[in-house]
Amino acid sequence: MEVPALDPAGADALHLWLETAKLAFADRDACYGDPRFADVPIETLLSREYAAQRRALVDREKASLALRPGIGRLPAGWPLIAEDDAARLPAEPGALVAAQVSRSEPKASEDHRYGRTDTTQCVAVDAAGNAVSATPSGGWIMTSPVIPELGFPLGTRLQMASLDPGHPNALAPGKRPRTTLSPSLAQLADGRWLAFGTPGGDQQDQWTSQFFLRVAAHGERDLQAAIDAPTVHSEHMPSSFWPRHARPGVVSVEDRFDPGVLRELETRGHRLERKG
């Protein structure tokens, strides 16, 4: 795809990115698991041949409402769609027809006496050029029980494991769950190294890939400008967090994008939710 030639804030680039993200996350949810316990086809997933097969599925004029892994399979019972989202879905064959509808649970009240606690991102580079990118997180740490003898709470990342025993991400003793944490290191074409990352759950790979494309594909030299640029993220795939709902076609967009660009995305079938 002609990514470098496209305006990164234009409708064509955003549409292609969103449709590609849907395919990539479908493969994540079908194939990823602890490689000590599961055969993860990483060489196939990263091959040019497989990328070409997946790229051919992208319709440049219409947003897909399907969840289409290319290999492997989704956990049994997936995708699960919240009742309020299902009511707004168009009636068409590709609209995740196998999805189950789930009523949303009432949200627990939050205690804000101690302020918000969440995932964070740490990047450090020393004078010799050694770089570290880390994304510390305990998941839903404020609602996790504290173990009195230890003095700290349990992590909550096991919620991301699958209860489908035949799936690569199935829950098992001693097995690491597939998580959303994505600290990143990348070497640019000119030999420079870039260390980056972000908090954000399932948005981590989405926000960092948009930042990376601005730098690596679109030639943005000002890293702060690439960080500050408006972003989008898809909620099409099942969430990694309970209750694991998918929101077919839903895209969260910052209202800093040109209104004409957002209207064009809606014309192509994206269900936009504008954020400040």
Q: For position 267, which CATH number holds? A: 3.60.20
In a domain, 207, yes or no: yes
Measure Cα distances from 182 to 73, 185, 201, 206, 264 in Å: 23, 10, 9, 10, 31
**Domain containing residue 206:** 3-104+178-275
Residue labelled with tokens 């680039």: 13
Helices (H), 160-241: 204-216, 223-228
Number of domains present in the structure of the chain: 1
Q: How far out from the chain centre does Cα 273 lie?
A: 16
Round to whole Å and give the CA distance between 211 and 169: 28
Residue 149 reports pLDDT greater than 70: yes
Query: pLDDT tens across 54-78, in order?
Result: 999 999 999 999 999 999 999 998 8
In a domain, 223, yes or no: yes
The number of residues making up the chain comes to 276
pLDDT band at residue 88, thresholds of 50, 70 and 90?
low
In a domain, 249, yes or no: yes
In a domain, 209, yes or no: yes
Burial class of residue 35 in the structure, from the number of CB atoms within 10 Å of its CB (0-12 exposed, 13-18 middle, 19+ buried): exposed
The DSSP bridge partners found for residue 187 are 193
The string of DSSP letters for 37-62 reads: TS---HHHHTSHHHHHHHHTT--TTS
The candidate with the shortest Cα–Cα distance to 180, out of 224, 237, 232, 223, is 237
In a domain, 205, yes or no: yes
Cβ atoms of 195 and 125 closer than 8 Å: yes
Round to whole Å and give the CA distance between 2 and 182: 26
**pTM (predicted TM-score):** 0.87
In a domain, 122, yes or no: no
In a domain, 201, yes or no: yes
Query: pLDDT tens across 24-35, in order?
Result: 999 999 999 999
In a domain, 206, yes or no: yes
**Range 237-259 average pLDDT:** 95
